[in-house]
């Protein structure tokens, strides 16, 4: 694990302008056959906020 915040690369920012404010703080490794249902359930509110932001743009 990294103790420092991981920021997007300049290449990522060029491809995805909203990533300028992204800061990765924690990552949990999922097995190759991992199920993303748990991930989606935990972050459902964040996904909803992202969708609202897309509608506003």
Decide if 49 is inside a domain: yes
User: Along the 57 residues of the chain, how does pLDDT read in single tens digits?
Assistant: 567 777 888 888 888 888 877 777 666 666 676 667 777 777 787 778 778 877 776
Residue 5 included in any domain: no
Q: Are the CB atoms for 4 and 27 separated by under 8 Å?
A: no
Residue appearing with tokens 């103790």: 3
Question: Which ranges constitute the DSSP H helices of the chain?
Answer: 10-15, 37-42, 44-56
Which structural domain range is residue 18 located in?
A: 10-56
The total of structural domains in the chain comes to: 1
Tokens (6 digits) for 52: 């609202």
Is the model's pTM score more than 0.75? no
């Amino acid at each position: 694990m990294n103790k420092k915040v991981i920021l997007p690369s300049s290449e990522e920012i060029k491809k995805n302008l909203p990533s300028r404010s992204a800061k990765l703080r924690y990552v949990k490794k999922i097995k190759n056959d991992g199920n993303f249902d748990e991930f989606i359930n935990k972050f459902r509110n964040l996904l909803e906020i992202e969708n609202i932001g897309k509608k506003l743009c």
